[in-house]
Structure 1
Amino acid sequence: MNLLPKSTRLIVREYDSTPTVKQIRGVDHVFLFEPKLKSGRLLPKMPLQKQIDHMQAQAVSKSGVLSHSGDARQPTISYSHYAKGASVFDMLTLARKHYAALKNLNPTRALVLCNDKSEEVRKAFAEAVAAAGHAWICPLTTFKKRRARNRKLRYLDAYKVSDLDIARLKAEADGNNLARVLAALPPNKLTAASYTALCQQLARSNNWECEIFDQSRLQKAGAGAFLAVARGNPHANAAIVRLRHTGQQDRPQLALVGKGVCFDTGGVNLKNAIGMQQMHEDMQGSSVALGTFLTLTALRPDDTLECWLALTENRLDGEAYTPTEIVTAANGTTIEVVHSDAEGRMALADTLHLASLNKPALIIDYATLTGACIYALTTRYSGTFTNRDDLNTALLAAGEDSGERMWPFPVSQDFDDILESDYADIKQCSLDGKGDHIAAARFLSRFVPAKTPWIHVDLSSGHHKGGLAHVSSDVTGVGVRFTCNLVLDKKIGDQLG
C-alpha cells in the first residue's frame, strides 16, 4: 500500500468575464458569495435566480451557508454572505463550510463567483475555494474494508478574476496534503523506519539528495540528546534524515527542520490514556517541514534548500532515558534530563546543530512541542519564536495573510533562569511547566549559532477538532501556507541583512 498521497488532480481555471447561462448549466455545483446585506442580482438570466433571491432574503436573518438542490438540468448551489473586511482566515473558513454543505453531493465540475466590486476580494474568494477544494478531494488514509467513495471534483472554474497563481495553489495543496496524510497515519504504519523509507522514495521522485544519519553515525557525531530519546525503542531504527535540493548556489538559503516523533508514550514519565491519544501525530512538525520542502522546491527551483527530519519514537523499555541523567549533545552542551516527555526538544537539539553546520541563511523548525502553547493560544493559533526580534512583524503578517494564524512570543535571555542546572550546562525543562513554550524555545536556541537567523514554530494548531481555515480534517497541516507566504510574499530572506 502506497502511503504517500498523489498530487492533487483538481484543475482550476480562471475567466475574467461573467459566466454565461450555458457555462452555468455546464457545471454540477455553483459556489456563490456576496457582501453582507448587499442586494441585486449576481448574474443576468441566471438559472435558479428565484432560489438565489430567496436565499438572499434568508441570509439577512441567518448566518452560515445556504444550499439549494438542483435537478437534472440545473446545478446545485451554495450561497453565503460575508462581512466587509473579512480576513483571509474568514474566507478560507467560509470556503470550507461551502464544501461541508455539499454533504452527499459529489460534483465533478464546479463554478465559483463572488459578487464584490473589489477584484482583490473576488480573487481572494476564488483562491479560498480552490484551496479548500484541493484539501477536500484529498482524504486521509483509512484502513476500512469499505472505502469511502472518492470525491470526483476535477474542475473548478473561477469567474470575474484574473492572475490567479494556479501553480502556487496546487503546490501549496500538495505540501499541505502530504503533511496531513503522513500525520494521520497510525504508528504501526508510520514508524521511524518506514518514514525514512518514504523520505527516500520522495527523494527519488523529486530528484532530491537524501542522506541518512542512522544511530551508528549519530553515535559517532556525539548526538547524545537525540539518541537519549531513541534508546527506548528496541528496534534501533531512529534516524535524522537530510534532504537537499541544490539550486544556483551551494549554501542553503533555507533549512527546514522538523520534529518527527512517530509515537510518544511519554517514556518513563508515562502519559495517561487520554494523553496518549493522537500521539501518532507528534511527528507533524516533520511532515509540515517535508510538505513545505515539497512546495518550495517546486516553486523556487533556483534556491538551494535543505530539510532535516528528526525521526524517532519515544517509547518505554529497559533502556529508556530517565530524569536526572546527564547527556551530551552534538555541539558539546551537557543537558540535565528532567522529564522524559519533553523529548521533542531533545530530538530537535542535535538536528538543529547538524542543520546549522552548512551555514544556512535561515533555519525554520516546526514541532508539536508544548502543551503550554495550546494553553496560551488554544488550537486556533500556533506560536512563533525567533532570535531576530525584527522578524516578528513579518511572522504575524504572514500568518494573517496565509490564513494560518501565528502569534509571536518573546525569547528573552532572562528566561534562561528557568533552565539553570547545578549539574549540567542546561536543564531540559522545569517541572512546574510555567511558560514552557518559551522555555522550550530558549532551550532550542542553545543549539543554533547566535549569528544564524532562526524561527521556531510551535504547532499548537496542528490538530483542531472539525478542521481549521480551508482544511476540514482535524489534522490541519498548518505551516505550509504560512512559510510560503513568509518566503515568497514577505521575502523574509531580504530582511536578514
Structure 2
Amino acid sequence: MLAQLTLSQILPAATHLLVLLPKTKALPKDLPHAAVLKAVLARRDIKADELAKSPVAANAGNGALVAWVMLDFEKDTFAQQVQVRKALQLLLGENPKSIGIAVFGDEVQRKRAAELAVYGAWVNGALLPVHKQKDERKPLQKIELYGFADRKIFAPLKAQAAGNLLCRELTILPPNELTPALYHGRIKKLAQQQGWKLEEFDMKKLRRMGAGAFVAVAQGSDPEDAAIVHLSYRHPKAKQTVALVGKGICFDTGGHNLKPSRYMHNMHEDMNGSAVALGILLAATQQELPVNLDCWLALAQNHISPKAYKQNDIVKALNGTTIEVMHTDAEGRMVLADTLTLASRAKPDLMIDFATLTGSMATALGARY
C-alpha cells in the first residue's frame, strides 16, 4: 500500500520534514528551520553546497526531525534519486506515519524535486516482506507536499512506484515461497486484478511444441511446474506492440555443473528479469500507456536430479536449432531461447529481454567493465 499524498499551501507541521533545494552556496531566506541548519553546518565545519554531497538531519526546536538535501540537477537521474533516498532514510528510520516534504527553487526545480521526493517516499516508505517473528516496522501512511501544487504529475509516478515494489517484493521472496507454481498463482491473481489476458504453456504443451531448450532445463524439477506464461495488455489507441521477455529461474543450483555454495547463495534472485518485466507491465497498465504489451515469463528452476539435463546432451530448440549442452549452469540462455522464439512469432515492433547477467560475461567484457 502506497502512502496517501496531499498537497499543502502552507508548510506542513510534520514530526518528520524533508527539505529539498537546488545546489547553491547561499541558503534561501525562507528556508524552514534555517537557524538549526546553520548551526549544524557550523558544528560540522561544512559549507551549504556540501548538502549536495550528503544530506544532514537535526531536531528542530518544535521537536520535529528535519532533513535537508541539495540536488545537483546537472547530475543524472540515478544520482539525484540516491541523494533523495539518503535524506529520506534519515527520517524513515524512525518509522513515521507521515512525513512533510518542502521543495524550493524555481518552478522547474521545484517540480523535479517534488517528483524525486514523492516517488522516493513511496518506494522507500512501503514495507517489503520480512520473516522475523516480530516486525516492528511501520509503513509510511501519509505524505504532505509543500511548494508544488500540480497533482497530475504524480499519477504516473504512483504507477511506477507500484511496479517498482512488485518487482522488489517478488525478487526477495525465498525460493520455497516462490516456486514456479506459486509464482504462476501470483501472476494469475494479478492478471485478474489488472484485466490482462493470460496464456500458459505448461511442460506438456511445450514438449508437444518442440521447445526442447526450455524443457531440458525444467525437466530436472519435481514436480514439473515450469511454464512459459504470456500476459497481454491492450490499449485501444495503441499503434505499436512491445514484447517484454523475462528470465524467471526461481532457483538456480547450476544443475550437474553445480555452483559452489558461495555462488549458489541468493540464486532465488535469478528470477529478477521476469520480475522487472512484470513490474513494467503493471506500471504501464496503471498509467494506461497507449502501447500494446506482451509479457513473456520463463518460469522454471535449474535442479539436479536423475532427469536433469547433462553435459553433451543434444536438444532441439523451438526454432529448430540443435544445441549441445556444454555447461548446465548456462540455463538462462536455454529457457530464453524458446521464450524469445514464442515472443517473436507474434511479430512485435520491439522485443526487450530482461535477465540476471551471467558471470561469464567477464569473458566477453574483461575486468574493466
Structure 1 length normalisation: TM-score? Answer: 0.68
Is 1:28 the counterpart of 2:15? The answer is: yes
The aligned counterpart of 1:412 is none
What residue number does 1:232 align with?
220
1:91 corresponds to: 80
1:3-18 matches, within 5 Å, as 8-14=1-7
Residue 64 of structure 1, aligned match among 28, 51, 54: 54
Establish whether residue 115 from structure 1 lines up as the match of residue 45 from structure 2: no
Q: Name which of 98, 105, 110 aligns with 2:94.
A: 105
Instruction: Compute the displacement of 1:325 (Å).
Output: 1.5
The correspondence of residues 166-177 of structure 1 with structure 2, limited to 5 A, is 166-177=154-165
- Aligned partner of 1:149 in structure 2 is 137
* Cα pair distance change 1:67/1:231, threshold 3 Å: same
**Offset at residue 32 of structure 1 (A):** 1.5
2:233 match: 245
Does structure 2 conserve the Cα–Cα contact (< 8 Å) formed by 1:134 and 1:173? yes
Secondary structure in 2 aligned to 1:135?
helix
1:266 aligns with 2:251: no
| C-alpha contact (below 8 Å) 2:73/2:80 kept by paired residues | no
**C-alpha separation in 2, matches of 1:51 and 1:311:** 54
Whether the 8 Å CA contact 1:69–1:76 is kept in 2: the answer is yes
Asked whether 1:77 is paired with 2:66, we answer: yes
- In the TM superposition, 1:82-481 aligns within 5 A as 82-83=71-72, 85-102=74-91, 104-117=93-106, 119-160=107-148, 162=150, 165-248=153-236, 253-300=241-288, 302-373=290-361, 433-435=363-365
Verify the 8 A CA contact 1:179 1:291 in the aligned structure 2: yes
Deviation at 1:14, TM superposition (A): 4.3
State the one-letter code of the partner of 1:166.
F
Does the 8 Å contact 1:10/1:134 carry over to 2? yes
Provide closer, same or farther for how the CA distance between residues 80 and 338 of structure 1 changes in structure 2, counting only shifts above 3 A. Answer: same
**Inter-CA distance 359–103: structure 2 relative to 1 (3 Å threshold):** closer
Shift of 1:337: 1.3
Distance 1:84 1:294, change over 3 A: closer
Structure 2 distance, partners of 1:173, 1:131, is 7
The Cα offsets for residues 394-432 of structure 1, whole Å up to 9 and x where unpaired, read as: xxxxxxxxxxxxxxxxxxxxxxxxxxxxxxxxxxxxxxx
Unaligned runs of 5+ in 2: none
Question: What whole-Å deviation, never above 9, does each CA across 1:216-271 have from its counterpart, x for those lacking one?
Answer: 00001100000010011121110000111233279861111100000000001100
Distance 1:344 1:120, change over 3 A: same
Q: Cα offset for 1:357?
A: 1.3
For 2:357 and 2:70, how far apart are their aligned partners in 1?
Answer: 38
Letter of the 2:220 counterpart: G
Query: Which ranges in structure 1 are unaligned for 5 or more consecutive residues?
Result: 1-7, 376-432, 437-459, 461-497
Q: Secondary structure at the match of 1:165?
A: helix
The equivalent of 1:489 in structure 2 is none
The Cα of 1:435 is off from its aligned counterpart by: 4.4
Report deviation, 1:309.
Answer: 0.3
State the percentage of identical aligned residues: 36
CA RMSD of aligned residues (A): 2.4
Secondary structure of 2:19's counterpart equals strand
Q: Answer whether contact 1:251 1:360 (CA < 8 A) is retained.
A: no
- Helix, strand or coil at the partner of 1:33: strand
Give, in whole Å, the separation in 2 of the partners of 1:83 and 1:173.
23
Deviations 1:348-404, CA, capped at 9 Å, x for gaps? 11001111111111111100031245x5xxxxxxxxxxxxxxxxxxxxxxxxxxxxx
Return the alpha-carbon distance in structure 2 between the equivalents of residues 87 and 366 of structure 1.
23
Task: Tell me, yes or no, if the aligned pair for 1:224 and 1:330 is still in contact at 8 Å.
Answer: yes
Aligned CA distance change for structure 1 residues 162 and 249 (closer, same or farther; 3 Å): closer
Q: Is the CA contact 2:97–2:138 (under 8 Å) kept in the aligned structure 1? A: no
Q: Which amino acid aligns with 1:235?
A: P
Residues 84/248 of structure 1: CA separation in 2 closer, same or farther (3 Å cut): closer
**2:353 aligns to what SS in structure 1?**
strand
| Distance in 1 between residues matched to 2:126 and 2:140, nearest whole Å | 11
Question: Match for residue 486 of structure 1?
Answer: none
| 1:124 counterpart letter in structure 2 | R
Deviation per CA, 1:107-138: give whole Å up to 9, x if none. Answer: 33323233333x32222221111121111122
Query: Is 2:23 the partner of 1:50?
Result: no
Report the Cα offset of residue 301 of structure 1.
Answer: 5.3
Amino acid in structure 1 at the alignment position of 2:223:
H
Matched residues in 1 for 2:320 and 2:84: separation? 50
TM-score with structure 2 setting the length: 0.90
**Cα pair 1:344 1:369 within 8 Å, conserved:** no
Are the structure 2 counterparts of residues 294 and 104 from structure 1 closer, same or farther at C-alpha, using a change threshold of 3 Å? closer
Q: Distance in 2 between matches of 1:40 and 1:369?
A: 44
Change (3 A) 1:175 1:248: same
Secondary structure at the aligned position of 1:312 is classed as strand
Kindly tell me: are residues 365 and 60 of structure 1, through their superposed partners in 2, closer, same or farther at Cα, counting changes over 3 Å? same
> Closer, same or farther in 2 for the Cα pair 1:159/1:115, shift >3 Å?
closer
CA positional deviation for 1:24: 3.0
Q: Secondary structure at 2:119's aligned position in 1?
A: helix
Contact 1:252 1:306 in 2 (8 A): no
| 1:64 to partner: Cα distance | 1.5
SS in 1 for 2:299: strand
Report the secondary structure of 1:371's partner residue: coil
CA offset digits 1:17-47 (Å, max 9, x no partner): xx53xx332x222212334452133527x4x
1:280 positional shift = 0.1
